[in-house]
Amino acid sequence: MKEKYSYKSEWIYLVGFGWMASAFFMMLLGFGLSDAESAIAIFVIWGLWFISMIVSVFLLECMPASFEADEKAVTFKLLFRTITIPYSDIEKMEINRIYTKVIIRGDVPHYEEYFNIWCKNQAYEFHKAMDIDMDTVAEHPEQLQEEFEKGTFSQLQNYIHSYLLDSL
């Protein structure tokens, strides 16, 4: 079983606030300089900083991730990090779904699916926004459970359970 997905990092708001605060102070510094060369240097630095901010916010907004499950282990790839979890190390798995309301303008309310895995020596948590048509669910609330069962991590949990049961 192999799946690609993206998720919104929890760090996006903290990083965004830090970027805005540092931009404000850099602009104040640029306006306070009297000679033109120093002011131009500050504004060039500010421009480069602004480009890096846009890239950072974009990456934090939709972090690329994927997982691949085979007969012995599941491997998660998160940007520059790879986590391999052998099925023999898994002690417990749990899925939680949380309804997320709009926090910033342009966002839409959605369900987040959290997949927690507890191993012998470490705990892991992975999450992603679920692709659920909220209008359809509002008309037919009984479909919400079906949508939960079709979730990416629900399918992964069932896949892993089938291998864990076969190994017993």
**For a pLDDT cut of 90, what percent of the chain falls above it?**
17
pTM attached to this predicted model: 0.69
Among 7, 2, 3, CA closest to 112? 7
Tokens 């990092």 belong to 9
pLDDT score of 81: 86
Q: Is 86 exposed, middle or buried (0-12, 13-18, 19+ CB in 10 A)?
A: exposed
Q: Of 9-13, 130-134, 136-140, 147-151, which gets the smallest average pLDDT?
A: 9-13
The mean pLDDT value of the chain amounts to 81
pLDDT tens digits, one per residue of 38-58: 777 777 877 888 888 778 777
Written as six digits, the tokens of 107 are 């966002």
pLDDT score of 58: 74
pLDDT score of 42: 75
- Alpha carbons 13 and 4: distance in angstroms, whole number: 24
Residue 93 has pLDDT above 90, yes or no: yes
- Alpha carbons 33 and 42: distance in angstroms, whole number: 9
pLDDT bin (cut points 50, 70, 90) of residue 7 is low
Among 158, 141, 17, 25, CA closest to 93? 158
User: What integer is the mean pLDDT of 46-71?
Assistant: 80
pLDDT score of 119: 92
C-alpha 86: how far from its chain's center?
23
* Cα-Cα-Cα-Cα dihedral sign, residues 31, 37, 38, 42: positive
**Comparison of pLDDT for 8 and 141, the residue scoring more:** 141
Give the DSSP letter of residue 72: S
